[in-house]
C-alpha cells in the first residue's frame, strides 16, 4: 500500500467550474499535509499547507483535512486553463521525510 | 528574497560514473532536502540536511551521499551511476529542520546512458 495515494487522472473540468482533488494517506502519524502544483517539465510549487482538521482557504484554493478518515482534498474554485497541471499531495509525520503521492493531472477545458 | 537555485540544469553521464549536483537554499532557510523524481512519479525523499548534518534518509543506497555547507548550500553525490538513476533531482529548502513547508528549486535533469 502506498503511503499517499492519489487518482492519477486526468481530471477534466470546464473553465469556471470547481475542481476537486483528493488524496488518502496510510500513516496515522502524519501531521502536516501539503499540496504542490507541478507544470510539465517544471519543479513542484507549494500552493497550500494544512495541519489541523477542517478547511483552510487561500484565494481560489481550499484545502480540507480529515484525520479520522485519513483524507486530504484540494478544491480549486473558478478553474482557469492556467490551473492545468499535475497536483501533488504530500504528507509528513514527526520525522523529516515528506511523502508524495504520484499526483493527479488536472485539465481545465476552455 | 533569493529562491532555491540548482546547478547544473541538465547533465548526461555514463553508467558507472560519479556525479555531483548542487543546491543553494532560499534566503533564511537552514534545511535542505533532496528528492528524486522519475517520469510520471511523485518526488521520492533521498535525505535531508540540517545544520550541516544528515537529518533523515529515505530508501536510497549509500552510493547516494550529501553534504551541507556553513552557508546552508548543499551537494548531492551519486557514485557508480546506474541507468535507473536517470531522473529529475530536486532540492527543497525549508526552515528549522523537520517537515516544514519546503520550497523547491528548478531541478537537475540527470540522464545516465
User: Looking at the predicted structure, is the pLDDT value of residue A96 above 70?
Assistant: no
Cβ-contact A33, A91 below 8 angstroms: yes
Measure in Å the smallest separation between the Cα of B46 and chain A Cα atoms: 9
Name the least confident of A10-14, A24-28, B20-24, B74-78: A24-28
Cβ-contact A43, B104 below 8 angstroms: yes
- Segment B102-111 shows an average pLDDT of 96
Cβ-contact B45, A110 below 8 angstroms: no
Q: Could you give the CA distance from residue A8 to residue A87 in angstroms, rounded to a whole number? A: 9
Chains A & B: contacts with CB separation below 8 Å: 59
Taking CB atoms and an 8 Å cutoff, what residues of chain A touch B21? Answer: none
Cα distances (Å, whole numbers) of residue A44 to A16, B19, B100: 24, 23, 15
Task: Point out the residue among A4, A32, A42 whose CB comes nearest to the CB of B99.
Answer: A32
Residue B50, exposed/middle/buried by CB under 10 A (0-12, 13-18, 19+)?
Answer: buried
Q: What DSSP state is assigned to residue B25?
A: P
- Segment A40-51 shows an average pLDDT of 95
CB A96 to CB B99 under 8 A?
A: yes
- Segment B76-98 shows an average pLDDT of 92
Q: Could you give the CA distance from residue B6 to residue B73 in angstroms, rounded to a whole number? A: 10
- Whether A32 and chain B come into contact, CB under 8 Å, resolves to yes
Task: Point out the residue among B40, B45, B107 whose CB comes nearest to the CB of A43.
Answer: B107
Q: Could you give the CA distance from residue B105 to residue A104 in angstroms, rounded to a whole number? A: 21
Cell of B100: 516544514
The predicted structure's pLDDT at residue B99: 63
Closest CA to A51 of A31, A71, A72: A31
pLDDT digits (tens, 9 = 90+) for A75-92: 999 999 999 999 999 998
**Cβ atoms within 10 Å of B61's Cβ, excluding its own:** 10
- Whether B58 and chain A come into contact, CB under 8 Å, resolves to yes
Q: How many residues does chain A have?
A: 110
Q: What DSSP state is assigned to residue B8?
A: -
Cell of A54: 477542517
User: Looking at the predicted structure, is the pLDDT value of residue A2 above 70?
Assistant: no
Cβ-contact B108, B11 below 8 angstroms: yes
- Segment A42-70 shows an average pLDDT of 96
Amino acid at each position: 500500500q502506498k503511503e499517499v495515494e492519489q487518482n492519477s487522472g486526468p481530471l477534466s473540468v470546464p473553465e469556471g467550474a470547481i475542481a476537486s482533488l483528493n488524496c488518502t494517506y496510510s500513516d496515522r502519524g502524519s501531521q502536516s499535509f501539503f499540496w504542490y502544483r507541478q507544470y510539465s517539465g517544471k519543479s513542484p510549487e507549494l500552493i497550500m499547507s494544512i495541519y489541523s482538521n477542517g478547511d483552510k482557504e487561500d484565494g481560489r484554493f481550499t484545502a480540507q483535512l480529515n484525520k479520522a478518515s485519513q483524507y486530504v482534498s484540494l478544491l480549486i474554485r473558478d478553474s482557469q486553463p492556467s490551473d492545468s497541471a499535475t497536483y501533488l499531495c504530500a504528507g509528513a509525520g514527526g520525522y523529516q521525510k515528506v511523502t508524495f503521492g504520484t499526483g493527479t493531472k488536472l485539465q481545465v477545458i476552455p | 528574497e533569493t529562491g532555491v537555485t540548482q546547478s547544473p540544469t541538465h547533465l548526461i553521464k555514463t553508467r558507472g560514473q560519479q556525479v555531483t549536483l548542487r543546491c543553494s537554499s532560499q534566503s533564511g532557510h537552514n534545511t535542505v532536502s533532496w528528492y528524486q523524481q522519475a517520469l510520471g512519479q511523485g518526488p521520492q525523499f533521498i535525505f535531508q540536511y540540517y545544520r550541516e548534518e544528515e537529518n533523515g534518509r529515505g530508501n536510497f543506497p549509500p552510493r547516494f551521499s550529501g553534504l551541507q555547507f556553513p552557508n546552508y548550500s548543499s551537494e548531492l553525490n551519486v557514485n557508480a551511476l546506474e541507468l535507473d538513476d536517470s531522473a529529475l533531482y530536486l532540492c527543497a529548502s525549508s526552515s528549522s529542520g523537520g517537515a516544514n513547508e519546503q520550497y523547491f528549486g528548478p531541478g537537475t535533469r540527470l540522464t545516465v546512458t
